[in-house]
Amino acid sequence: MKTEVLSGKGLAGMIRERAQDEARQLELRGVHPVLAVVVATDDESTLWYVRSIERSAGRAGIGCRIVDIGPDATEQVLAGVLRDLSAEASVNGIILQTPLPSGVRADNLVGLIAPHKDIDGANPLSLGRLAVGQPAFAPATARSVVEILDHFEVPTAGRNVVVVGRSAVVGKPLSLLLLAKDATVTICHSRTGELEPFTRAADVVVVAAGRTGLLTGSHVSEKTVVVDVGTNVLPDGSLVGDVDAASVSGVAAALTPVPGGVGSVTTALLLLHTTEAARQQAGVLGRPLAAGVA
């Protein structure tokens, strides 16, 4: 059977256009949306990713301030930076970029990002609000999966959705978003044992484990829609997901590619979340903030 490729590129372009349009509307009211990205690493691929956010923001008319405090930054310095940015009126959105210097714990820092500027849903308060169905920013990656399913009209209400991975940044918030869309959600993790009985019975499988080749053709059926969140860099520098795309292709109904799937939509959503945060902070009327909750 032919497996449909669910590219995220078209959707990402549409979301970027929406962010650009929102930024234009805000500018007309004298509001200039600004995203701050706090960086404390010399990891080249991370720095490349941050520069790509900066370029996309620039094209959408959104300010992007890279706050690079170097790979030797202490937790105390990072905490001070996050407190300052949270208090600064000209900054609307804040991302604390990982990886952080060794010994620095993200858990101790993300709670310092003001919830109304937490455009990547990192503060545990944002996750808590998602859990009880209150408006909050979901992590962009988690929302990206839901946007892709909506865009390709993959039904979730009453369907069995398996999420592989239970991290606070992807698996858990995604499960909450899917639950809010009336899916019957099963969360698998490293102690689940055999994934096959769960994934083969599912209508949708989302894999967010960070394990190359975790999901193969034997894990899916002809009805399965597979969303690959994983990003793994191979020794030759190429990027692959968690899904063995070659073996899943021809078996599953549909599959998102890596690269060009979830990741491209994620970056676009960070921009859209920044405009939503700016609009809310400026008290400008428009679509109500319900970034995470469907």
Q: Which residues bind ligand NAP (CB under 6 A)?
A: 141, 164-167, 169-171, 188-192, 208-211, 214, 229-232, 262-263, 266
Least distance in angstroms from the C-beta of 210 to ligand NAP: 3
Least distance in angstroms from the C-beta of 292 to ligand NAP: 15
Least distance in angstroms from the C-beta of 95 to ligand NAP: 12
Instruction: Compare residues 160 and 167 and give the one whose CB is closer to ligand NAP.
Output: 167
Least distance in angstroms from the C-beta of 177 to ligand NAP: 14
DSSP SS3 for 232: strand
DSSP letter (8 states) at residue 161? E
In contact, 192 and 214? CB cutoff 8 Å: no
In contact, 19 and 267? CB cutoff 8 Å: no
Residue by residue, what is the 3-state secondary structure of 169-184? CCHHHHHHHHHHCCCE
Residues pairing with 186 in the sheet: 162
CA–CA gap between residue 168 and residue 174 (Å, rounded): 9
Least distance in angstroms from the C-beta of 106 to ligand NAP: 10
DSSP SS3 for 273: helix
Instruction: Compare residues 34 and 162 and give the one whose CB is closer to ligand NAP.
Output: 162
Segment (H or E) for 146: helix 140-151
Tokens representing 58 are 């620039």
Instruction: Compare residues 63 and 263 and give the one whose CB is closer to ligand NAP.
Output: 263
Least distance in angstroms from the C-beta of 190 to ligand NAP: 3
Q: What is the largest CA-CA distance in the chain?
A: 55
Q: Sign of torsion, CA 276 95 240 165?
A: negative
